[in-house]
Chain A
Amino acid sequence: MTDLHWLTAAELGGAYAKRKLSPVEVVTALLDRIAKLEPRLNAFIKLDREAALAAAREAEREIRGGRARGPLHGVPVGIKDIIDVAGQATTCHSKIFLKNIARADAEVVSRLRAAGAILFGKLSLHEFAIGGPSFDLPFPPARNPWNPDHHPGGSSSGSGTALAAGFLPVALGTDTGGSIRNPAGNCGVVGLKPTYGLVSRRGVFPLAFTLDHIGPMTRAVRDAALVLDALAGHDAADPGSAAVAHGNFGTDLERGVRGLRVGFVRHFHESDVPAHPEVTAALDEAAKLLKREGATVRDIRLPSLQELGGVSRIFMQAESWTVHAKWLRERPGDYAETSRRKLMCGAFLSAGDYVHAQQRRLQLTDAVNAALRDVDVLLCANSLDPACRIDDDAELARTYPRQARSPFNLTGHPALALMCGLSKSGLPISAQIVGHMHDEVTVLRAGAAYERATDWHTRRPPKL
């Protein structure tokens, strides 16, 4: 049997149902592993051992008593510390919010609890989901399990780290400019940014209202579907929530890609912002593999990465400034340097800039929708470089903006990140599969088919 700490949520659920494993056994083993490895990796801001064990005992009683709630019952989950858990501080990894105690669970946390998931605690992030790995904050930055000297990606850093280290099978991330998909890519796991509005933002501290998404991070595509089943749904208390009916997101996981039409957005990483050669090679290989599996793959053009990224940055800068202006005026020294530099940008934009960006957003979204008319999904780059060293400020500044994620925060399309290679330096390389609005089913279908045809998802960080 696979080591217990590498089991997926679906595998855990199956083992619970057959009484081969119990939630208490799993939680105890994971807590032991965390105790051993966490000092090197800093995935957690707060690990809630007692609550996790109590929830495991309760889950065990319910499952053994014939009251299983579903596939996430007894499954350990970590929560990015920008998402409210009642009675706990939502620090946002910041000095400013050290005493910010949440009065209620975020909607996504309520839904996970209702599904029977076991909350392990709060995971580290980049300050307010925008900074970068910072050493001038109350908590240390998370490290990449593939090489702790390297950046795990962000802003959902602790989520990526916890999954790749075998601490947890499931974590929640948030994604405003790629913050689920960047750590998923750098840590070699799966990250799904759902369609805008599919998952409620209530109880999640905002970064940029019109770009903010919440979604699952897992080690397997099937698990992303299971978690999305639990998270998705209309929430009248979230003004951006979509009232769209949905069924089981894993419906087509076994269907394969025969006949699927894939648009390869080659210009993003070949001409717009040329990628590291190993990333280009891995993406070419992914396109070939989908073709071998029966998909029709053809090159497709979207607006340029620079233009999509530029408009997205206006929203990020203007909206995050609105949230943080008061504190930036009164206590700028309480932010990490990286966050301060990013959050003050909005002070230099005008109302005209923001409205202009809104006009451009409609045009660019229409252009992406038009391109998608002829295909079922897009294949494109995630990060354009393998992860750099966590302490190399110059390389962080150079590589962080070199990505193809923020276009889909701007447009709202669903986007799945999954591992598609390993660099010569031993760090994961990742691709994105992007779908039509609210067609996560097809995105996950393509991802599952790719996963079955490769062994990237079975690779583990060395020395762990």
Chain B
Amino acid sequence: MAVRKTKASLPDANALARAAGLDKAVRQFPEDVAIAAQSAASARGAAGALDQFAAEPWPPMQVRNVK
């Protein structure tokens, strides 16, 4: 299984954090923001690439029977 390598640089991470509304965290805890961004990149990288792009996600859509 191929490993996808994606790592946000610090300016990218700050921009993404601001886009997510984390302006206060970027100002007060820049190191924590950088570590969180790295952890997300690490999980994404470890999750492995998919051979079948049309594979059904889990759980599949299910209707609820409510009357």
A317→B47 contact, CB < 8 A: no
Residue of A347, A348, A357 most packed against chain B (CB within 10 A): A348
Chain B residues positioned under 8 Å from A314 (CB to CB): 43-44, 47
Binds B, one of A168-176, A225-233, A358-366: A358-366
A347→B55 contact, CB < 8 A: no
Q: Known contacts A355-B57, A361-B58, A362-B55; is A344 also within 8 Å of B47 by CB?
A: no
Say which residue of B13, B17, B21, B55 sits within 8 Å of A363 (CB atoms). B55
Interface string of A335-347 (1 = CB under 8 A from B): 0010011111111
Interface string of B6-28 (1 = CB under 8 A from A): 00100001001100111111001
B46→A332 contact, CB < 8 A: no
Report the interface size for chain A: residues with CB under 8 A from the other chain. 37
B9-66 contacts to A (CB < 8 Å)? 13, 16-17, 20-25, 28-29, 32-33, 35-37, 39-48, 50, 52, 55-59
Say which residue of A310, A317, A337, A355 sits within 8 Å of B32 (CB atoms). A337
Chain A's interface: helix, strand, loop or mixed, by majority?
Answer: helix
Report the interface size for chain B: residues with CB under 8 A from the other chain. 35
B48→A310 contact, CB < 8 A: yes
Chain A residues positioned under 8 Å from B22 (CB to CB): 328-329, 332, 344, 347
Interface residues of B (CB under 8 A from A): 1, 8, 13, 16-17, 20-25, 28-29, 32-33, 35-37, 39-48, 50, 52, 55-59
Interface residues of A (CB under 8 A from B): 210, 306-307, 309-311, 313-314, 317, 325, 328-330, 332-333, 337, 340-349, 353, 355-363, 365
28 contacts between A and B (CB under 8 A): A210-B59, A307-B47, A307-B48, A309-B46, A313-B39, A313-B43, A313-B46, A314-B43, A314-B44, A314-B47, A317-B40, A328-B22, A329-B23, A333-B29, A340-B25, A342-B39, A344-B17, A345-B37, A345-B39, A347-B16, A347-B20, A347-B22, A348-B8, A349-B40, A361-B58, A362-B58, A363-B50, A365-B58
